[in-house]
A and B are shown apart, each in its own frame.
Chain A
Amino acid sequence: METKNNLKAWFYLAPMLILMAVFTFYPLINAFIISFYKDYLPLANNGTGSISGYTLHNYVVIFKNQLFWKAILNTFVLAFVSVPVSIIVSLFISVSLKAIPKLKGFFQTVFFLPYVTNAIAVGMAFAVLFHKDYGLFNVVLGLFKITPIDWIGGTASWWAQMSALMVFTIWSSLAFKILVFTSGLENIDKQYYDAARIDSASKWTIFKRITVPLLSPLILYISITSLIGALKAYNSVIGLFGEKLGGQPYSMITIVAFVYKYRADFAFQGFYSYAASAAIILFFITLIFSVLQTMVSRSRVHY
């Protein structure tokens, strides 16, 4: 009986498992193997590729590469600022939306639009907004008599570029979070709020001590998924800065962009392996932070 049921279960799982095997597990394992190839030339021997053994050297090359450390720095700053900020902002927006039931539907749509809009297109729009001479941001700053800042151009400082990228990233990641938090808020029993009012709790106390703890499982879920997403940032950089990946070439490079750059240059001996090693490093970074986050949150997520 049990084996029969098991067989049935495997059949149901088969389509997903096959797809995962082909498009997730095989590439992952393969990337891992490629990252140890020595002198890899994927197109040699009529496309079967050639290697001259296995080595750890690819990782050494990566770790010695200035551009890689720049990518790590950019990615980390982007991820560890944009994720908490966007979670806090979207929480406040969701809670505020709850207070205006009549306009809620309208604003929910407004806030959700970025989610269904192409990142490259939005990035181009933001590139205009951040333009040194005509951009809205500088026009507004001009009202306060602040001299125009070059946000994304050739003379832009790292700080300006990072700020622009940050604003863009946060803005585009709000949509999904607001969606999740508003539906989460609707699932909180109204009686807790009635009880809190009877208990003379202020709005801020209700937010801090009732809403946030009751949403904590969702906040954990959102923070893990969006941290993983942020560590893989690439679209936003291309969208905002174009193929140059920054005001100056590669100034806003991220880990994924780094992987992509080396993968694109695979005709050079070993470059494909460098891309693979960088990808594997990213994989472990993501893994470590996800596990850390789950462990830290376990003590803070209620029920």
Chain B
Amino acid sequence: MEIRMANLTKIFTSKKDKKEVHAVDHVDLTIPSGKLIGLLGPSGCGKSTTLYLIAGLLKQNEGQIFFEDDEVSEMPPEKRGIGLVFQNYALYPHMTVRDNILFPLQNLKVEKEEAKRRTIEMAELVGLQEMLDRKPKELSGGQQQRVAIARALVKKPRVLLLDEPLSNLDARLRLQTREEIKRIQRETGITTVFVTHDQEEAMSISDEIVVMKDGVIQQMGLPQEVYDHPLNLFVAKFLGNPQINVFEGDIKGGKVLIEDMHIESAKLPDQQILIGVRPEGFLVDNTLKSDFKFAVNLVETIGRDTTLIIDMPSEEGGLLDKKSFKVIVDASHRIQTGDLVHFTVKPEKMHLFDLDGGLLK
């Protein structure tokens, strides 16, 4: 089921000072059918609001939502045919797992035997067939999560929505559950939208990601595509861990310069720019003795990677003004703290932005 949002806007007015916040700001977005889409952004970017607008629990101020050709903008949530998994699951605490999963079917007046069969089917899909007679509080966080997914899916919704599905789980369960969500989505083929602030989570399970900021969609695409070709500085900084390194630099006579060190050439007019280089975008080059060189302040070797932490020389020299950046190189380079290292930059890992954060090139 394709989900299409056209000019979707949600404005929250604060009660105190009547200030308007555009939580979702004229969003046009098409979510392809049968895909797992990650809505990604920092907190307050409007991603959860977008999800609740799709669910119908919030009402848009402007714009429309379509499921294929069916306009659902004015439909109440119960008519939209969606499954929603809440951040804290919202399992009914007084009902057993079985009753929680049965509840939507009873409301939809599904015939008893069939409802029973579908409940057991769902429990098997999420691997909880042994837990059917327990109450939610007798389950672990991960199990509760799966009950919530089963409850959302049992009524065969057109769309599955997940609000921060992994945020309440510990690190180990998180990895396990994210595989689980991916598997369930593959098996059912349902169009799924999930919201997260964790870029790694989004990158690892989504078919496509949508990056949002201040209610506006910044970029949508395949996770690797967005990572490799960010459309602006925000997206570049938001994706990737460790974060992309951002240098203040200049273009002079077709040369990209950082602190007057020649990095690359670029066919752009002379101007001040911001240069983003991914930590893995540096090559150690001690043979050619390139212009781009730094003394290493700290070396951390973990397994096959070595992270070099380098403090940028700064004019003020104060501790807080100090900017440092991270370089990940192969551990085979035996680099010691204090060494002067020459670098070259992989051109595909370098992105040039104007001072407002817009992409150049």
13 example contacts (A-B, Cβ-Cβ < 8 A) are as follows A191-B90, A192-B90, A194-B86, A197-B57, A198-B55, A198-B84, A200-B104, A200-B107, A202-B107, A213-B94, A302-B93, A303-B135, A303-B137
Q: Which single member of B76, B88, B92 contacts A197 (CB below 8 Å)?
A: B76
Nearest first, the 7 A-B pairs at minimum CB distance are A302-B94, A199-B104, A191-B90, A195-B90, A200-B78, A213-B94, A200-B107
Residues of A bordering B, CB below 8 Å: 189, 191-192, 194-202, 205, 209-210, 213-214, 216, 302-303
Asked, given contacts A199-B104, A200-B155, A303-B135, whether A194 binds B78 with beta carbons under 8 Å apart, the answer is no
Chain A CB within 10 A, most for which of B55, B77, B82? B77
Is residue B351 contacting chain A, with contact meaning CB distance below 8 A?
no
B103: which of A191, A201, A202 is its contact (CB, 8 Å)? A201
Taken together as a complex, chains A and B put the C-alpha atoms of A196 and B77 apart, in Å, by 10
**Chain A residue contacts of B155, Cβ below 8 A:** 199-200
Q: Does B4 have its Cβ within 8 Å of any Cβ on chain A?
A: no
- Say yes or no for B281: interface residue by CB 8 A criterion: no
Closest residue of chain A to B86 (Cβ to Cβ) is A191
How far is B152's CA from A194's CA once the two chains are assembled, in angstroms? 13
Name the distance in Å between A42's Cβ and chain B's nearest Cβ.
Answer: 54
Contact A198 B107 (CB under 8 A): no
Q: Could you say which residues of chain B place their CB within 8 Å of the CB of A192?
A: 90, 92
State A200–B105 Cα separation when bound (angstroms): 9
User: Of all chain B residues, which has the CB nearest A302?
Assistant: B94
Report chain A residues within 8 Å CB of B10: none
Query: How many Å lie between the Cα of A216 and that of B77 in the bound state?
Result: 27
A206 to chain B, nearest CB (A): 9
- Asked if residues B57 and A200 are in contact (CB atoms below 8 Å), the reply is no
Is B38 located at the chain interface by the 8 A CB criterion? no
Chain A residues contacting B57 (CB-CB under 8 Å) are 194, 197-198
**Do B83 and A198 touch (CB < 8 A)?**
yes
Least CB distance from B27 to A in Å reads 22
- Once the chains are docked, how many angstroms separate the CA of A269 from the CA of B94? 58
Given A198-B55, A214-B93, 13 further pairs, Cβ under 8 A: A191-B86, A191-B90, A194-B84, A194-B86, A195-B84, A196-B103, A198-B57, A198-B77, A198-B78, A199-B151, A202-B107, A210-B92, A303-B135
Chain B residue nearest to A301 in the complex (CB): B94
Residue pair B103, A199 in contact (C-beta under 8 Å): yes
Q: Which of B192-245 contact A (CB under 8 A)?
A: none
**Which chain B residue has the least Cβ–Cβ distance from A193?**
B90
Chain A residue contacts of B76, Cβ below 8 A: 197
Q: How far is the CB of B265 from chain A (nearest CB, A)?
A: 56
Contacts of A213 in B (CB 8 A): 92, 94-95
Are B103 and A197 closer than 8 Å at their CB atoms? no
**Cβ-neighbour of A199 out of B94, B107, B137 (below 8 A):** B107
A222 smallest CB distance to B (angstroms): 18
Bound-complex Cα distance A214 to B106 (A): 19
Check A191–B93 contact: CB distance below 8 A. no
Rounded to whole angstroms, the CA-CA distance of A117 and B231 in the bound complex is: 69
**B331 within 8 Å of A by Cβ?**
no
Give A200 Cβ to nearest chain B Cβ, in Å. 4
Interchain nearest-CB distance for A23 vs B (Å)? 40
List chain B residues, Cβ under 8 A from A216: 94
Interface centre among A197, A200, A205 (most CB of B within 10 A): A200
* B151 proximity list for chain A (CB < 8 A): 199
